[in-house]
Chain A
């Protein structure tokens, strides 16, 4: 199993530019989560999807951030325009959610390290 795949692994961009982060969840998983990790704020949940539908985006910091999941095997997190305070490691995680109540863990990707100068 390839695990959760994220690209790019590193991104350096200038303030004001658009940034798109990509995630391919584990095949068969139906829940997908986007997190941001910084030294100051720790690990923050930004948004999560179930069956490609956004369930809760209350963690998205502001309108500059948007996320989509056009199909079960692909999701994007976009920042437009980017700012230096967006510099962080962004993680994608996927999980299998069943309404039966069985508890399945989240599997994390390796992360994308974003630097906005």
Chain B
């Protein structure tokens, strides 16, 4: 079946550190991949997406590359800020399926000054 596996959190970093949150997936066909972010007390919001192999999604200094050969979509940011503290969800959407998303468990990121 279709599934998403994320690295367990929490991830704790100092401001300006490099961030990587690992995400791997299992899917039939050619899924689209997404990263969503949830700030405290809010709903999820789309951070970035990639719809085909080798695509790179990027937004707000975050980026992730769709790697079909390793079935991965790792999230990276070169220099995190305190305001990046949130929970990050990796998700996939298979073809068809009414835009239903399969979410990973989420990874909590805490950035300290």
Contacts and interface: CB of A to CB of B under 8 A. Distances in A.
- A and B together in one complex: yes
Interface of A: 4, 31, 33, 42-43, 45, 48, 50, 55-56, 91, 93, 95-97, 101, 103-111
Contact of B103 (A4, A43, A103): A43
Contacts, number: 54
Interface stretch (B11-19, B20-28, B38-46, B69-77): B38-46
Contact of B93 (A43, A96, A103): A103
Contact of B101 (A4, A96, A101, A106): A106
Contacts of A31: 98-99
Nearest to B89: A43
Contacts of A48: 98, 100
Contact of B49 (A55, A97, A103): A103
B106 A105 contact: no
A50 B51 contact: no
Given A101-B95, A103-B32, A109 B43 contact: yes
B98 A105 contact: no
Contacts of A45: 100-101
B45 to A, nearest CB: 7
A103 B93 CA distance: 8
A93 B34 CA distance: 15
A108 B46 CA distance: 9
